[in-house]
Chain A
């Protein structure tokens, strides 16, 4: 039984005969096939992402909790100093800081690891035809696993600091979905560009480093006044952080953030889908 035959009903639509095995198949059909199959063959990306997390922390006592522990230690130490700078209590500043660092960590890891998603997949991409988006799904799934660990750490710290979880906290779920929707297209975008132009790997890394300071992660968006607020309001990354941060703090995110993330997600995916459809057949040539 082959994978294609095993899933007979849907295969009739998306390809017992892979459309990519007709070299003059329509680019968009092939790209759509790639997306659908890349997602449907969840055995692969679930397994690979879990294994990669396990592998990374094999033979350590804390395992993936290492990320969480180091994040919390970082946030606690920083809060002691910065709460003084910003004239705030540690117990209000610490949950605030951590509630931004946790979603930011998810975004920046997905984009940052996207730079090597295709470039590091040479062995696979040159040994067989498969849905390339699988490699993107692995990056996303792996970082969601780590995010969940961080989330548990946040809940612990926030509870100790007396953050009141409310009904608004449930908005965390759509918030994370929208964050992933946007990180997803960014991941695929940098994966394509970094494969073709290797300078982008360095460029994206340094842009992410700048972005963490420009985006209100360490400071509160309302602290910025005047013309400079444009770098917050027009910053999609800020809205992606904020739709997760506000529920974590028990607040309702602003409607603007939802609009930005929805529009950003749709427009971003459309553009990246076009790019992917046009360049998919060239990817293997770029190693």
Chain B
């Protein structure tokens, strides 16, 4: 059984190399989390990106992360992914975790599309036999044809997006952490991607999706979590949280 548990998780970011002016301007106009001058080390400032976030996600949960820019959505995803270790609090993950925050880490323009599928697949945590088994499917879905044997630098940006999304959506994710902005491909391919995304989401045990688009969240999630200045304001059914989000938008 998959489970994703956060208990009172806080995350502080040290900002290195911020000069005094930048520090002052950061302190005056906050957009993100809360900024706290670090008393011990005057030269670094600390951004409180997450404060006491507690969440308990179970198998079958489809959770949308909602909130304005800098509210802590991406940071929260990265904490769940084990990238940022909580400054305080506790994270516990049971099950196989697949973060798709950056759609294809490690794409190399000099390598062929074919080589890149293997490299990225390995980096996404697939094994070599697993990739080999999925390769024909990925190639076919990307509609790249013989271009798959050419270096990626010869691809158009649409072709590149098609390849990276084809790889990313081929995995069996377990717990899937998804940051928005997937599939900047052409319109026809966009539909195809949407369908394939849906299929992938159906294979997931837990989905956490961060996005600004309420339509996207509404179509994929039944629950939602509202982030505001690094705090979790509300967690519950998508409709309730959506209302709370609108309230926050009006107030703020």
Contacts and interface: CB of A to CB of B under 8 A. Distances in A.
B129 A123 contact: no
A129 interface: yes
B126 A51 contact: no
Interface residues of B, number: 42
B110 to A, nearest CB: 5
Contacts of B102: 123, 126-127
Interface stretch (A42-50, A61-69, A207-215): A42-50
B115 interface: yes
A133 to B, nearest CB: 15
B10 to A, nearest CB: 12
A1 B129 contact: yes
Contacts of B190: none
A21 B92 contact: yes
B90 A124 contact: no
A4 interface: yes
Contacts of A21: 82, 91-94, 97
Interface stretch (A160-168, A170-178, A279-287): A279-287
B82 A20 contact: yes
A55 B108 contact: yes
Contacts of B130: 1-3, 6
Contact of B83 (A7, A55, A58, A284): A284
A79 B179 CA distance: 58
B115 A51 contact: yes
A103 to B, nearest CB: 30
B38 to A, nearest CB: 13
A123 B106 CA distance: 8
B93 A130 contact: no
Contacts of B13: 285
Interface string B112-124: 0001001100111
A215 to B, nearest CB: 33
A125 B83 contact: yes
Contact of B96 (A4, A7, A22, A41): A4
Contacts of A13: none
Interface in A142-161: none
Contacts of B106: 123-124
Interface in A30-62: 41, 43-44, 47-48, 51, 55, 58
Interface SS of chain A: helix
B234 interface: no
Contact of B127 (A3, A22, A51): A3
Contacts of B115: 51
Contacts, number: 101
Contacts of B89: 23
B59 interface: no
A121 to B, nearest CB: 9
Interface string B64-105: 000000000000001001111110011111101101011001
A44 B96 contact: no
A55 to B, nearest CB: 5
Q: Which bracket fits the contact residues of A?
A: 35 or more
A127 to B, nearest CB: 4
A58 B127 contact: no
A195 B121 CA distance: 26
Nearest to B86: A23
Given A51-B108, A123-B102, A281 B85 contact: yes
B155 to A, nearest CB: 16
B128 interface: yes
Interface in A1-24: 1-4, 6-7, 17-18, 20-24
Contacts of B83: 125-129, 284
Contacts of B118: 47
Contacts of B101: 126-128
A148 to B, nearest CB: 22
A50 B129 CA distance: 19
A124 B108 contact: no
B128 A48 contact: no
Contacts of A55: 108, 110-111
Given A3-B125, A128-B81, A285-B84, A23 B92 contact: yes
Interface of A: 1-4, 6-7, 17-18, 20-24, 41, 43-44, 47-48, 51, 55, 58, 123-130, 198, 281-282, 284-286
Given A22-B91, A125-B83, 20 more contacts: A1-B129, A1-B130, A2-B130, A3-B126, A3-B130, A6-B127, A7-B127, A18-B82, A21-B82, A23-B90, A23-B92, A44-B123, A124-B123, A128-B81, A128-B83, A128-B105, A198-B17, A281-B85, A284-B83, A284-B84
13 contacts: A1-B127, A2-B125, A2-B126, A2-B172, A4-B96, A51-B115, A123-B106, A124-B106, A128-B83, A129-B97, A198-B17, A284-B85, A285-B84
